Every structure is written in C-alpha cells, then in structure tokens.
Amino acid sequence: MDFFSIIWIIFIIITLIPILKQKSIKKERIKLIKKIEDKLDSRLIVLIHRQEAISFLGIPVRRFINIEDSEEILRAIRLTPGDKPIKLVIHTPGGLVLAAEQIAYAIKKHPSEVTVIVPHYAMSGGTLLALAADNIMMDENAVLGPVDPQIGKYPAPSLQKVVDRKDIDEIDDETLILSDVADKALTQIKDLVQNLLIDKMETNKAKRIATILTEGRWTHDYPITVDKLNQMGVSVETELATEIYELMELYPQSGNRRPSVQYINSK
C-alpha cells in the first residue's frame, strides 16, 4: 500500500468518526426520551439551542427559535392525542417573536396539561413558551428573561424614552419611525403575554406581570431567577427528574473547542 493510499484511508476514517459518533448520540437521545416519556406518562418535546458560537468557514453560527422550530413543534403537538400531557424541555436564548408566538398558542390550546421544563435558561421567546404552559419547572439556578421586543439593535422601551425625553425637532426621522414601530411592538407583546396568562390568574395580576416583563425595567438579557418569578406571582416548581440533566448532556457543544470547565465526578 503506497503513501497516498494510507493518507486517503486516514482521511476517510477521520471523516466517518464524527458521523458515527453523532448517530450514536442520536440513538442515545431517542432511547432516553422514550424512557422519560414512559416515566412521566407524557409526550416529551425537546427544544435545545446552544448559544455558544460555532465556527463554520470562519463565520460564527448561533442557534435560536425560528420558523422551522415552530413547524416541528406544532407538528409534534398536533400529533399528540388530546388526552396526553406534554413535557417541553427548553434551553434557548430566544428567537423570532412570530415563531415563539405560534408555539406559545399551540401550547396554550393543547387540551391536556403542558409543562415547560427549563434546566438552565429560556430567555426572551423561550420565556413566552414557559408562560404559555400550565406548569413551569426549573432548576433552582435556572433563569427566564424579559420579553421586551428589540427593534433592530435597539430595545423598544429605550426608543420610546428617546422620543419622550427630547424635543421632536431634535430627533431625526429614522428614530421617529423606529419609535413608532417600538410603540406597536410593545403593545403587541404586552397583549400576547396577557393573553397567555389570563386563564391562569386574575386579569389585573396578568396585566401587572405583562407590564413588568415588557416595560424595559431590565436589560433584555437580565436573568429572572426562580425567586423573582415567585415574587412576581409566576408559580415555579424546582424538582427536575435526573433524566432531564442526562438528556442535556446528550446535546453537547461542538467538539472542536477545548472545554472551559472540567471536573471529575466522584460518585
């Protein structure tokens, strides 16, 4: 066997190993999902996005809630019998409002109980999905986030404040247009949050929570803890099944990067 044949064989092996590893992980995921479904007597749907940048041809790629996600989750919910509870595991930085809204209303309309499970974080659009559910279960250190809309690169509440605090003659046309869009977006998202909560609590309480989450009280990436959610009047349970954490481990970040955290499990 000549040198180039050996190089070619090595290249094929190096190419196949990640593919085979990914197939193995996928089989493990399906096996564990089935185990959790049997244990909880529910349909389990998983929405997991890794926020860390992955280099592809030198271009950073990020995952977030998009239309493809909403299509898949709506299909999964549609295929779930009406008398079957749903458990939805979410790990996401957020995403498109349209996609998140579609999923949220599908969750709300499912006849049986829907529980959103947050092992680590569900920000922005992920928070909308949690609010739509009948129950929210979070790790005691997990967080949700504000749902104030972002207009381009600016938070909608901040655009409103620019117009409120400055004389109109001092504001350029583009900022005025953005502020007008911000007004509409804030009204829409506030109404959405209220509609998601209105069947679970008093109207005034739903309005108050919707205002807190949309008014720009915090930055868009502010972590809303379990304690803060309970103080706001959003009920959260913190007992997660061990299998949920095992499932998260089967959605690893790209193996091309050196891990930042390492430890030895002595159990």
pLDDT of residue 259: 53
pTM, two decimal places: 0.84
Per the structure, the complete domain to which residue 156 belongs is given by: 147-222
Are residues 104 and 185 both part of a single domain?
no
Each residue's pLDDT tens digit, 98-109: 999 999 999 999
Q: Is residue 78 part of a domain?
A: yes
Are residues 116 and 235 both part of a single domain?
yes
Each residue's pLDDT tens digit, 237-249: 999 999 999 999 9
Q: Give me the residues paired with residue 88 across strands.
A: 45, 116
Lookup result for tokens 């972002």: 150
Q: Longest C-alpha distance within the chain, in Å?
A: 81
DSSP state of 231: H
Are residues 172 and 123 both part of a single domain?
no
Instruction: Assign 8 a pLDDT band (cuts: 50, 70, 90).
Output: confident
Are residues 11 and 119 both part of a single domain?
yes
Q: Which uninterrupted H or E stretch holds 107?
A: helix 97-109
Nearest CA among 29, 61, 27, 63 for reference residue 45: 29
Residue 14 has pLDDT above 70, yes or no: yes
SS3 136: strand
| Sign of the CA dihedral running 110, 115, 121, 127 | positive
Total structural domains within the chain: 2
Of the chain, the end-to-end C-alpha distance in Å amounts to 48
CATH number of the domain that 78 lies in?
3.90.226
Q: Are 115 and 87 in contact (CB under 8 A)?
A: yes
Determine the Cα–Cα distance for residues 67 and 125; give it in Å rounded to an integer.
12
pLDDT of residue 58: 41
Are residues 31 and 154 both part of a single domain?
no
